Amino acid sequence: MSLPPDYLAYAKRRYGMDHDRYAWSMLPRRKTVRWPGGKLVALLVVPALEWFPLDMKAKPFKPPGALVTAYPDLRHYTLRDYGNRVGIFRVMTALDRFGIRASAAVNAAVAARYPSLVKACVDRGWEVIAHGLDMDHLHVEGLPLAEERRLVEETLAILRRVGGQRIRGWLSPARSESFATLDLVAAAGIDYVCDWVNDDMPYAMQTASRVLHAMPLPNDIEDYTILIQNRHSEDEFTQQVCDQFDLLCREAASQGGRILALALHPWVIGQPYRIGALERALDHIMESGEVWAATAAEILDAFTAQE
Amino acid sequence: MKRDPGLYDYLPYDRRPKIRWRGGAHVAFWLAPNIEFYELDPPLNPTRSAWPRPAPDVLGYSYRDYGNRVGFWRMLETFERCGVRGSVSLNVAVCQHHPEVIEACAARGWEFYSHGTYNTRYLFEMSEAQERELIQDSIDTVRQHTGQKLDGWLAPALTYTERTLDLIAEMGLTYCCDLFHDDQPGPVKTKNGRLASIPYSLEMNDAIAFSINGLSPRAYGDIIKRQFDRLYAEGAESGTVMCIPLHPYLVGQPYRIAAFEEALAYITRHDKVWLATGREIAQHFLAHDYAAFAAAGETAGEAP
């Protein structure tokens, strides 16, 4: 076995990134951002409403939360579905207490199967973010372009019909994209995507048709990452979310507005013994008086108005 | 293939010459931030895929990109508040991609050593000519962009050939961070030149602590303090080395940096600590201890 002679050729060794999707930019050297009311931190809560089909193929990789056992994996199918039946309503109660409107990332399959759930979100003034068709339709390189375009259009058509909203945001299932995904969702009217975890603030991304924005949504402080992947306790979840907030608050005081974006999975955080961990974190965050709780589209609009 | 790497003699902790650091310090303490560039769609090395998912692995790529855009700048402020310099484990292509990061480090007197060209180009299966080209690239790029002579080496993504350490010693480097067999520096047996192994520590590495072992930020701060306390105590007898290897995309996350800073400030509050760079530790060891350590070793590598 040996490496090809051109293994050390570096076609993209140049200033900036090794692709043309977005420009290289250093967070502390950017123009400062000011949120409505002069609040230091915009709070963005993104509960995911997911459907993992019982016959899922999980190709070419298993998305986080994928079913586990041989068919039929009733155990994990139903545990994930718990989030849509029970867990999400605990999350709603926790957010309602402070009048926080979430931006729910919804698989189109959830909207088609449980339209009353999407209605409950919309009735609260929540925003609906497109989260693909379901957790077994991954956007990956190798998927034929026409097929991926159909997937994007079908997803948006279902969510627009059921939710009655324009749908401006996109979160790919498992945050997985092909090289064409951003071009396709931009052409279909999407204004921002939440897949990229390289920044704490929005930034512009180039597509074939128009500019869209990356919206921060860290993978690190998701309930799934902390509680399921890292197996930390509920108290540690609260601590880490509060630490995230405190640091962003301190930084915002000198560097301009920041965003605390919190991705949640109701089948994880919505368990009776866990929901209190979210409530205690929200107590800390909201009692600070430094928070503008908003939807993703509201945050985007406030941001782009200052760009 | 060899059964023993043949890179060092057996030199047990209880029977070796004493190390005396500058100013009677117990511990030579150094910070090794890995400043890296991972390519979105690198060429395939048959031994290892760059990303767990098919390209473009948006999650993996953007997570690492966070380090240069955001995390590095937070980590820099933490180092400044604690009065410590970094010894940068550098993917040298960062000199071209993000010169502002290099300038920020250089302005603060930090050291640059090589961590290969990109963290997505692996040494496994390289020909000798390719490997020499890669090392020379590091020597030239670091010289050209920072004015520094390249002294140290940490193989990109910890990938090697059997000849890697021979080649870096022959090409004028003086220390490597690739061997994890000790808490003190030691001689490395190479064909040419004199090469010191400087303890780097995977145990203290934030990538291992967070991404492999899943530690919470506070638990990471706690193991740092425990590691330091023991090496500080043992260093009263003979000088030890403590390294914290960091990755700005990990330690620079908002929920992690304060707990790390608390642990770092704990270390810098002690008076018998030598806040050094990798190069300074290597220079001290090569000048004062290398010969005695080399003479004291017992021949190793006689596998049954």
ipTM of the complex: 0.97
Please name every residue paired with B90 in a beta bridge, in sequence order, or none if there are none. Answer: B35, B114
Q: For chain B, what is the domain count?
A: 1
Say if CB B28 and CB B21 are below 8 A apart. yes
Say whether the peptide bond before residue A202 is cis (omega within 30 degrees of 0).
no
Which of B144, B253, B256, B261 to mutate to probe the A interface, most A CBs <10 Å? B253
Render pLDDT for B27-77 as a digit per residue (tens, 0 to 9). 999 999 999 999 999 999 999 999 999 999 999 999 999 999 999 999 999
C-alpha to C-alpha distance for B68 and A18, rounded to whole angstroms: 14
Say whether the peptide bond before residue A72 is cis (omega within 30 degrees of 0).
yes
Q: Nearest by CB to B69, which of A27, A172, A230?
A: A27
CB contact under 8 A, B126 and A172: no
Q: For residue B72, which phi and psi values (nearest 5 degrees)?
A: -55, -40
CB contact under 8 A, B99 and A15: yes
C-alpha to C-alpha distance for B218 and B275, rounded to whole angstroms: 23
CB pairs under 8 A between A and B: 144
Task: Taking each helix axis as running N to C, give the angle between helix B72-82 and helix B254-268, from 0 to 180 degrees, rounded to the nearest 10.
Answer: 20
Say if CB A19 and CB B40 are below 8 A apart. yes
* pLDDT for B303: 52
Which of B44, B61, B70 to mutate to probe the A interface, most A CBs <10 Å? B70
Q: How many CB atoms lie within 10 A of CB A161?
A: 12
Name the closest residue on chain A to residue B254, using Cα atoms.
A244
CA-based nearest distance A123→chain B, Å? 32
**Token pair 């915009």: residue:** A42
Handedness of CA B200, B201, B205, B207 (dihedral sign): positive
C-alpha to C-alpha distance for B253 and A32, rounded to whole angstroms: 20
The angle subtended at Cα B181 by Cα B154 and Cα B200, nearest 5°, is 35
Task: Tell me if B79 is assigned to some domain.
Answer: yes
C-alpha to C-alpha distance for A130 and A49, rounded to whole angstroms: 10
Say if CB A168 and CB A160 are below 8 A apart. no
Which residues from chain B sit within 8 angstroms of residue A179, using beta carbons? 55-56
CATH 3.20.20.370 fits A42-304, yes or no: yes
CA-based nearest distance A283→chain B, Å? 17
CB contact under 8 A, A10 and B93: yes
Handedness of CA A221, A227, A231, A232 (dihedral sign): positive
User: Which tokens is B144 given?
Assistant: 């050209």
Helix (H) or strand (E) holding A260: strand A258-264
For B156, the domain range is 22-296
Task: Tell me if B263 is assigned to some domain.
Answer: yes
CB contact under 8 A, B217 and A240: yes
Render pLDDT for B92-108 as a digit per residue (tens, 0 to 9). 999 999 999 999 999 99
CB contact under 8 A, B96 and A219: no
Say if CB B160 and CB B178 are below 8 A apart. yes
Taking the Cβ of residue A24 and every Cβ of chain B, the question of whether any pair is shorter than 8 Å is answered with yes
Does residue B301 surpass a pLDDT of 60? no
How does strand B152-153 pair with strand B175-176? Answer: parallel
Helix (H) or strand (E) holding A169: strand A169-170
Ordered by start, the domain boundaries in chain A are 42-304
CB contact under 8 A, A243 and B259: yes
In sequence order, the 6+-apart residues with CB closer than 8 A to the CB of A9 are B43
In sequence order, the 6+-apart residues with CB closer than 8 A to the CB of A271 are A82, A87
Say if CB A217 and CB A194 are below 8 A apart. yes
**Residue whose C-alpha is closest to residue B61's, from B1, B118, B142:** B118
CA-based nearest distance A231→chain B, Å? 8
* pLDDT for B297: 87
Task: Tell me if B233 is assigned to some domain.
Answer: yes
CA-based nearest distance A260→chain B, Å? 10
Q: For residue B133, which phi and psi values (nearest 5 degrees)?
A: -65, -40
Which residues from chain A sit within 8 angstroms of residue B97, using beta carbons? 13-18, 24
Which residues from chain B sit within 8 angstroms of residue A23, using beta carbons? none
CB contact under 8 A, A3 and B253: no
Name the closest residue on chain A to residue B53, using Cα atoms.
A61
Helix (H) or strand (E) holding A246: helix A234-255
**Residue whose C-alpha is closest to residue A166's, from A50, A293, A44, A296:** A296
CB contact under 8 A, B98 and A195: no
CB contact under 8 A, A243 and B47: no
CB contact under 8 A, B62 and A7: no
CATH number of the domain at B156, please. Answer: 3.20.20.370
Task: Tell me if B14 is assigned to some domain.
Answer: no
* pLDDT for A211: 98
The 3-class secondary structure across chain B, one letter per residue, is CCCCCCCCCECCCCCCCCCCCHHHCCEEEEEEEEECCCCCCCCCECCECCCCCCCCCHHHHHHHHHHHHHHHHHHHHHHHHHCCCEEEEECCCHHHHCHHHHHHHHHCCCEEEECCCCCCCCCCCCCHHHHHHHHHHHHHHHHHHHCCCCCEECCHHHCCCCCHHHHHHHCCCCEECCCCCCCCCEEECCCCCCEEECCCCCCCCHHHHHHHCCCCHHHHHHHHHHHHHHHHHHCCCCCEEEEEEECHHHHCCHHHHHHHHHHHHHHHCCCCEEECCHHHHHHHHHHHCHHHHHHHCECCCCCC
Which residues from chain B sit within 8 angstroms of residue A236, using beta carbons? 216
CA atoms within 13 A on the CB side of A153: 7
In sequence order, the 6+-apart residues with CB closer than 8 A to the CB of B137 are A8, B92, B117
The angle subtended at Cα A172 by Cα B37 and Cα A203, nearest 5°, is 55
Q: For residue A170, which phi and psi values (nearest 5 degrees)?
A: -135, 135
In sequence order, the 6+-apart residues with CB closer than 8 A to the CB of B179 are B7, B8, B186, B188, B197
C-alpha to C-alpha distance for A263 and A103, rounded to whole angstroms: 10
CA-based nearest distance B238→chain A, Å? 38
Which of B36, B66, B210 to mutate to probe the A interface, most A CBs <10 Å? B66
Say if CB A35 and CB A92 are below 8 A apart. no
* pLDDT for B302: 54
Helix (H) or strand (E) holding A204: strand A203-206
CA-based nearest distance B122→chain A, Å? 9
The angle subtended at Cα A66 by Cα A65 and Cα A69, nearest 5°, is 120
Which residues from chain B sit within 8 angstroms of residue A247, using beta carbons? 254-255, 257-258
Which residues from chain A sit within 8 angstroms of residue B45, using beta carbons? 3, 7
The alpha carbon of B187 is separated from its chain's Cα centroid by a whole number of angstroms, namely 17
One pLDDT digit (tens) per residue for chain A, 307 residues: 789 999 999 999 999 999 999 999 999 999 999 999 999 999 999 999 999 999 999 999 999 999 999 999 999 999 999 999 999 999 999 999 999 999 999 999 999 999 999 999 999 999 999 999 999 999 999 999 999 999 999 999 999 999 999 999 999 999 999 999 999 999 999 999 999 999 999 999 999 999 999 999 999 999 999 999 999 999 999 999 999 999 999 999 999 999 999 999 999 999 999 999 999 999 999 999 999 999 999 999 999 999 9
Say if CB A293 and CB A100 are below 8 A apart. yes
Q: For residue B186, which phi and psi values (nearest 5 degrees)?
A: -155, 160
Does residue B283 surpass a pLDDT of 70? yes
Which of A7, A234, A237 to mutate to probe the B interface, most B CBs <10 Å? A7
C-alpha to C-alpha distance for B300 and A85, rounded to whole angstroms: 64
The alpha carbon of B103 is separated from its chain's Cα centroid by a whole number of angstroms, namely 20
Q: Is A12 exposed, middle or buried (0-12, 13-18, 19+ CB in 10 A)?
A: middle
Say if CB A281 and CB A236 are below 8 A apart. no
* pLDDT for B300: 62
Which residues from chain B sit within 8 angstroms of residue A12, using beta carbons? 39
Q: How many CB atoms lie within 10 A of CB B31?
A: 25
